[in-house]
Structure 1
Amino acid sequence: MTNATATPVRVPLPKASAHPVRVPLVTEPWGILKSLQMARRNVLSIIPDLATRQPMVSGKTGKRWHMVMEPTAIREMLLDRLEDYPKSVVTKNLLKPAIGESLFIAEGAHWRWQRRAAAPVFSHRNVMNLSPIMTAAAERAAERITQAGPRAVNMLDEMVTTTFDVIGDVTFSGGDTFDRDSVHKAIDQYIAEAGKISLFDILGFPDWVPRPGRLMSGPALKEMKAMADQAIEARAARGHEGVPDLLDLLLEGEDPKTKRRMSTAELRDNLLTFIVAGHETTALTLAWAMYLVGFDQDVQDRARAEAQSVLQGRACTGDDVENLPFIRMIIDEALRMYPAAGIISRTAQKKDTLGGREILPGDTVMIPIYALGRHHQLWEDPDAFRPERFADRKAIDRYAYLPFGDGPRICIGASFALQEAVIILATMLSRFKFTPVPGKEPEPVMILTLRPDGGVWMTAEPA
């Protein structure tokens, strides 16, 4: 980053302790070409270290930018003046080819009616009704690990498989003709190639200017969208019996104000959004949680004791989640340290003042969720793994911890993701003792999501 400025504050030094892996942040000015080069390798690597110590950092890298870490200013962006800070052009350029004008990208009235139509899909009752699918996927994962024997297992791959099982069954429980492997491959290809930031994005070029990586991934995306359209139309014509799955609920959904229902294209874009977000982000949270409980065996032992006490040798269900508070704390702490969405980016629509800093129309205003979760003014010893921080969630500033965003655009599937993560982690820890493989420490790398590069390698012994 270049020309960074910040309001100086006094910051206490962190306590000396052994810490899990972290992203090395910027400590010196960078030019635009180096910023681009580093961003394509790891988006988080362009965050200044000052962003973990100051309330706001500003600069210019082709365009004016600001990073906001002050909770009051963040509240203004996400809640009080939401319309003045829509999702950034860069975010839309990265995601629009894959998920169109779905809930994640849409703005204004188009976003509001979709949100109203989709909100009942993720009601507490519907999420609880889907918990047996999560339980079954967790049980299959445990069986695969058992069958693997004493050899090392990449828990990142295992968690990706498990959460994709969940979202596949939750989405298409009727066995519709939908090639899951092809969908998974297309998603991974798009994230790997199209998700890398282009120089055109940093310079603010309009989205009609082609980005080479996104052109390369076009055929796979086109095929994936065609498959989704066919499955939606087949389900709409045939119907489905039993507990409604995600597709049923979306087909039935309508805006309570206008009675408008989603077209096939709108259903498809939102369905693909939920498939990507509903497995990728939860899988990464679980993989990081597995890394952390391997890092701290005392935490793992305490969590295992809780899980075994509650489950008593049976499968974990949705009804058990509220009785597993320490395992939930581990999930919360993993989300603080390694949020799947490491940066929220917005484009200012009008002149404003945030945290005493002037904001101009067109400025990129970011909330670096990764830096927010490691901010020295907001967290004690922020780079340390301490699940007990979340023993009293009311004591945590609501806008200091934003793994799912906040305000009207808070992640619609947050309760689904948390229930799934607790069920799967409790199942794993109740069955096995996990030990990290020496020399296989993961590296936190973010392209579109924050991944443990190199995997999370563990040996698993029966508990």
Structure 2
Amino acid sequence: MQTAAQTPPPCPARVPLSNVPLGIWGSLQAGRRNVLELIPEIATHAPILSGRTGKRWHMVMDPGALKQILRDRVEDYPKSLVTKLILEPAIGDSLFVAEGQSWMWQRRTAAPVFSHRNVAALAPVMTAAAERSSARLDAASGGAADLFDEMVTATFEVISDVTLSGGGIDRTAVHAAIEHYIAGTAKLSVLDILGLPGWVPRPSRLLAGGQMRAMKRMADSAIDRRRAEGGGAVPDLLDLLLAGQDPESGRRMRTAELRDNLLTFIVAGHETTALTLAWALYLCAFDPAVQEAARHEAQEALGSRAAGAADMPALPLIRRIVEETLRLYPPAAFLSRTARVADTLCGREVRPGDTVILPIYALHRHHALWRDPDMFDPGRFDGTRPDRFAFLPFGDGPRICIGANFALQEAVIILATLLARFRFTAIPGRAPKPVMILTLRPQGGVWLNVERL
């Protein structure tokens, strides 16, 4: 019998993974409830799992095999049909979805937009959003607030200001359209589980999309107006994309291509960072000692002002908190690919058409790759770095997230500003539940007590 001294410390919220086979009906129910429930507990111990639920599938947790999929043979593992069915109606054949030459020329065109210089130049927008978030939390000081809702507001302000700073678009309507689309289309269909081809209609997705079409028309008008009138003194992402061209072909993006990529940046650029910040604040409330150390670091670096790009080197602990948050709660926690050709992964035969699942949530909590993998420990990112393909919050290889540096800079700026000014404490009985539909969200929000210092 364990004594109190031997009782292991509590772990932050985690997904209860399955210990029994789910079958087709169980997989459908789990996938619609929480995609991460499709991951069996054994995936946090095994290098690879294989099976059949309608289609043959392989769940890969081995860094060497993940390198093969994401870098060495990336063209042999395009994004899965389910991913495309969910996202193409919203973001078209943009960077996130496109394959082959269509992806290649867009990536070459957009890469300079996210250069270190351009990302640093956009930091004042992030600083201003941190100040506005701080002002809103001032009003909540002494009570409870949903920090997920607040972080969504803050990061949507940032992405709106850096994509369409000139106005001419109803930001509230854009945000509502994105939320409505995700809620209506991102859940698995039984036809997805059975592996039916894309031309077979998924009824749940036929009814969604009206708001997205209206948003696309609004975005097209804003792009055409910007092309005619020009941008401001500090170029935003739209200005940079309008000026960009593929260095090899000289091709420039047309209005529809600009719009689909801007919508990609808007969807990915605020949702994922908002999630990272909300989970980070939850973890800081979960571990007050880490929060106090981070507060001291932020106050020493910032004094009474908000953080900016120049402060990044002085905030190493806050950067490590962000990284540990991305390990425990990666926004893109469950990825899938379709094998185009025959291959072998970890000694398993992979056939053309097989689904290859990259369960990032399980990879980041794998017992062979991480010490005490369910524990919150920012110190694990101090010094020795994990295997490159054991930590994949932004993917890797040629298709690594183009906005990774942008997201990290934004997260550190906002988190440092808030921790320097507020104390966040947990509310008993209101721990968030990690639930993934398209991204890993905290079901019910992240409710914390907020105290102005």
Q: TM-score range by the shorter chain?
A: over 0.9
* Superimposed CA distance per residue, residues 249-293 of structure 1 (whole angstroms, 9 cap, x where no aligned partner): 111111000010011111111000000000000000000001100
TM-score normalized with structure 2 length: 0.97
CA distance in 1, matches of 2:114, 2:134: 27
1:446 counterpart = 2:436: yes
Alpha-carbon offset, residue 148 of structure 1: 2.2
Q: CA deviation at 1:241?
A: 2.3
1-side partners of 2:313 and 2:347: how far apart? Answer: 42
Give the letter for the 2:149 counterpart: D
Displacement of 1:208: 2.3
Residue 376 (structure 1) shift: 0.2
Structure 2 CA distance, aligned partners of 1:159 and 1:354?
39
2:394 to 390, 404, 424: 404
Please, which runs of 5 or more residues in structure 2 have no aligned partner?
A: 1-6
Q: 1:24-43 residue pairs with structure 2 within 5 A? A: 24-43=16-35
Distance in 1, matches of 2:385 and 2:111, equals 28
- Contact 1:90-1:202 at 8 Å conserved across structures: no
For residue 415 of structure 1, what is the aligned residue in structure 2?
Answer: 405
Q: Which residue identity does 2:393 align to in structure 1?
A: P
Match of residue 198, structure 1, among 169, 189, 192: 189
User: How far off is 1:25 after superposition?
Assistant: 0.6
Contact 1:163 1:280 in 2 (8 A): yes
Identify which of 280, 299, 317 aligns with 1:308: 299
User: What is the identity percentage for the equivalent residue pairs of Structure 1 and Structure 2?
Assistant: 63
Structure 1 residue ranges without an equivalent (≥5): 1-14
Hey, what's the Cα distance between the residues in 1 that align with 2:335 and 2:346?
Answer: 17
Native 8 Å contact 1:90 1:201 kept in 2: yes
Q: 1:155 aligns with which of 133, 147, 150?
A: 147
Structure 2 contact 140–450 (Cα < 8 Å) conserved? no
User: What SS does structure 2 have at the residue aligned with 1:65?
Assistant: strand
Query: Could you list the per-position Cα deviations for residues 192-216 of structure 1 after superposition, in whole angstroms to 9, with x for gaps in the alignment?
Result: 1100011111222222222222222
Shift of 1:339: 0.3
Aligned match of 1:362 in 349, 353, 358? 353
Deviation at 1:330, TM superposition (A): 0.4
Specify the alignment match of 2:276 in structure 1: 285
Distance 2:73 2:80 in 1: 15
Query: Which residue number corresponds to residue 142 of structure 1?
Result: 134
Secondary structure class of the residue paired with 2:405:
helix
Q: Check conservation: 2:27, 2:193, Cα contact below 8 A.
A: no
* Partner in structure 1 of residue 3 of structure 2: none
- Whether the 8 Å contact between 1:329 and 1:391 is mirrored in structure 2 is yes
Distance in structure 2 (CA, Å) of the matches to 1:27 and 1:369: 18
Choose which of 174, 192, 199 in structure 2 pairs with 1:183. Answer: 174
3-state SS of paired residue (2:133): helix
Selected match of 1:119 from 84, 101, 111: 111
Partner-residue secondary structure (3-state), 1:152: strand
Note if 1:342 corresponds to 2:333: yes
The yes-or-no answer on 1:71 pairing with 2:29 is no
1:229 maps to amino acid: D
Deviates more, 1:326-335 or 1:25-34: 25-34
More displaced stretch, 199-208 vs 438-447: 199-208
What is the distance in 2 between the residues matched to 1:417 and 1:298?
25
**Cross-structure match for 1:429:** 419
Shift of 1:436: 1.4
SS at match of 1:434: strand
Q: Does 1:102 align with 2:97?
A: no
Contact 2:432 2:446 (C-alpha < 8 Å) held by counterparts: yes
User: What is the CA RMSD across the aligned residues, in angstroms?
Assistant: 0.9
Of 324-333 and 15-24, the range deviating more from structure 2: 15-24
Alpha-carbon distance between aligned partners in 2 of 1:131 and 1:395, rounded to the nearest angstrom: 27
| Contact 2:143 2:451 survives alignment (8 Å) | no
Judge which range, 47-56 or 145-154, deviates more. 145-154
Distance 1:173 1:29 in 2: 50
For 2:287 and 2:41, locate their aligned partners in 1 and report how far apart those are by CA, in whole Å. 26
Q: CA deviation at 1:16?
A: 2.9
5 Å-filtered alignment, 1:241-320, equals 241-320=232-311
- Counterpart of 2:344 in 1: which secondary structure? strand
- Count of residues in correspondence between the two structures: 447
* 1:84 maps to amino acid: D
What is the DSSP-based 3-state SS (H/G/I as helix, E as strand, rest coil) of the residue aligned with 2:50?
strand
Match of 2:83 in 1: 91
Residue among 52, 63, 74 paired with 1:82: 74
Give the Cα–Cα distance (whole angstroms) in 1 for the partners of residues 230 and 415 of structure 2.
Answer: 34
Matched, 1:59 2:51: yes
CA distance in structure 2 between the partners assigned to 1:218 and 1:395 by the alignment: 42
Counterpart residue type for residue 239 of structure 2: D
Deviations 1:340-363 (A, max 9, x none): 001121000111101111101100
Kept after mapping to 2: 8 A contact 1:93/1:201: no
In the TM superposition, what is the alpha-carbon distance from 1:17 to its structure 2 partner?
2.4
Which amino acid in structure 2 is aligned with residue 58 of structure 1? S
- What amino acid is the match of 1:295? F
**Equivalent in the alignment of 2:449:** 459
Deviations 1:120-149 (A, max 9, x none): 000000000000000000000000010223
